[in-house]
Amino acid sequence: MYTGIKKNKAGIFNKYNELFLKEDNHYDVLFIGSSRAEMHFNPKIFDDITGLNSYNMGISGSSPNVSLSLLKVYCKQHDTPKFLIFNVDYFWLQNDTDRLNNFPRYFPYLNNQNLRDELNAIDKRFTSFYYNPLHSLPYTQIDYLSASLHGWLNITGKYDSLMYKGYQTAELKDINLETSSPILSSSISLKNKRDLNSLIEYAKSKSIRMVWVTSPIYEGTKTQVLNKKILANQLEDMTKSNDILYLNYTDSLEYNNPLLFSDNLHLNRSGAAKFSKSISLAFDNILAKKPLFNK
């Protein structure tokens, strides 16, 4: 089953092949973060505007610590990127859980010891998942069997065409905006502060230049976050003290339009295209004013 999954040439498992199976990939820029990174940054638009080679390494459900762990795995087997564009989200900054969303997706790649070690540091079950198939098998149900058959038969799945260089677009469909959401804490937890600082220090140790971005949220997080200004100030202080550019789009009136969203937190294809163009132009302008390497 795992061999078939690794034979996929499109979609989410091709993304995992790119990150954890292949070696010596070279990308100038990596986009990292959670599903909002994965769904908001279109490498095709970014590459066309900047002339750089980028890849979207956003992984659904990733906390800062998970993003750092996967980045370490990437840098051990691929060329180190020159830039990281990190999508930082207000609404998980108080959440100390390092959730591995859809964690059975990693099972076919646990021969990669660097990946296995990093995942096991987050979830101790991964050692058992690797050595004991009776432990991992119950989690690999019909979706994973289907993915394996698609790989063996060289058939592209229904949603595989919606992914490009790690970017997962949302289909244009009826808007499903929530009418209310829980109001969350306004302070960054101590754990997340440590994890963010660890990410900063790791990037510095690899001479990677970071840009932090908070991508659009419908109605600017009014229904998700309490006292957003406090969080924004904390992030701005952290980035300024580390010479990191921080681009905050949550209050941008350009994105106060439900037709650009698939739900409250995620842009749809049209919204992501609009946002990717804006980010790409901003990034290209920064390089033009302060070149950091020869393009």
Residue 12 resides in a domain: yes
Confidence of residue 268 (pLDDT cuts 50, 70, 90): very high
Residue 78 resides in a domain: yes
Residue 108 resides in a domain: yes
Averaged pLDDT of the chain: 90
Residue 133 resides in a domain: yes
In 3-state terms, the chain is what percent helix, strand and coil (to 5)?
Answer: 50, 10, 40
Q: Percent of the chain, pLDDT > 70?
A: 92
Q: Are 206 and 110 in contact (CB under 8 A)?
A: no
Q: What is the pLDDT of residue 185?
A: 64
Q: What is the pLDDT of residue 237?
A: 94
Residue 295 resides in a domain: no
Residue 294 resides in a domain: no
Q: What is the CATH number of the domain that holds 283?
A: 3.40.50.1110
- Distance from first CA to last CA of the chain, Å, rounded? 42
Residue 154 resides in a domain: yes
**Which of 112 and 292 is assigned the larger pLDDT?**
112
Residue 158 resides in a domain: yes
For the question of whether the overall pTM of this predicted structure is more than 0.95, the answer is no
Counting the structural domains of the chain, the total is 1
Q: What is the pLDDT of residues 136-193, one digit of tens each?
A: 999 988 889 999 999 999 998 878 888 999 999 876 555 566 655 566 666 888 999 9
Name every residue whose Cβ is closer than 8 Å to that of residue 147 and which is 6 or more positions away in sequence.
Answer: 4, 5, 8, 13, 157
- Domain region containing 268: 2-289
For residues 208 and 292, give the distance between their C-alpha atoms in angstroms, rounded to a whole number. Answer: 10
Average the pLDDT over each of 9-13, 180-184, 252-256, 264-268 and give the range with the smallest value.
180-184
Q: Are 56 and 32 in contact (CB under 8 A)?
A: no
Alpha-carbon distances, residue 57 vs 23, 27, 113, 123, 248 (angstroms): 15, 11, 19, 20, 20
